[in-house]
Amino acid sequence: MSKVRVNCFAVSADGFGAGPEQSLEHPLGVGGEALHEWAFATAAFKKMFGETGGNTGTDNDFIVGGFENVGAWILGRNMFGPVRGPWPDENWRGWWGENPPYHVPAFVLTNHARAPLVMEGGTTFHFITGGIHEALEKAKDAAQGKDVRIGGGVSVIRQYLQAGLIDELHVAVAPVLLGKGEALWAGLDMESLGYRCAEAKLSDRVMHLRLLRKHSG
């Protein structure tokens, strides 16, 4: 059975999934890169950029597993780029260059329409103006029985959690404090939303937590 899932989403020890003041210079917010150092060090992440080496332990296993059986992605607009408001043109083609790491259809939530963007490697960005339910419906159709991965950011994950639409949530808790930014857990009663902590696994760099909705087994 296909799932809607979040994988490898990094948060600080004080619960922030991105730093403040996201911009072209700081795509993860000020200080936000520290959340992802565990991922940057893995062999799987380096391979995405044509590099060799990297760690092959627990962190790498979670990165690899996060891409298995994924048939479509859903992304917030910040995950696609720093442009705000109406698209001034179509020159911005994403953070990842011409061959993004998705390799399947990716549905970008936005308030401003834009034509689909076909990239190298099998990724096509579709820009969805009808909200989270429309994006999920289209993503499930495109996934053809495989899972739909919610890539983020914080606001998108919170909306899907509040709507009860995420089956599985994996977060990597980094031992850093941001103090401010985008808070993932603020105001969310995960117990009442039906989640339980199914796995906790400590690596040399982060604590991996896997939360399941109780109906998901």
Confidence check: pLDDT of 90 > 80: yes
Task: Read off the pLDDT of residues 144-193 as tens digits, 9 standing for 90 and up.
Answer: 999 999 999 999 999 999 999 999 999 999 999 999 999 999 999 999 99
Sequence-distant contacts of 184-193: CB under 8 A, at least 24 apart: 184/9, 184/11, 184/15, 184/16, 184/17, 184/154, 184/157, 184/158, 185/15, 186/15, 188/158, 188/161, 188/162, 190/161, 193/161, 193/162, 193/164
As a whole number, the mean pLDDT across the chain is 93
Q: Can you list the domains of the chain with their CATH numbers?
A: 4-16+29-84+100-216 (3.40.430.10)
pLDDT reported for residue 81: 87
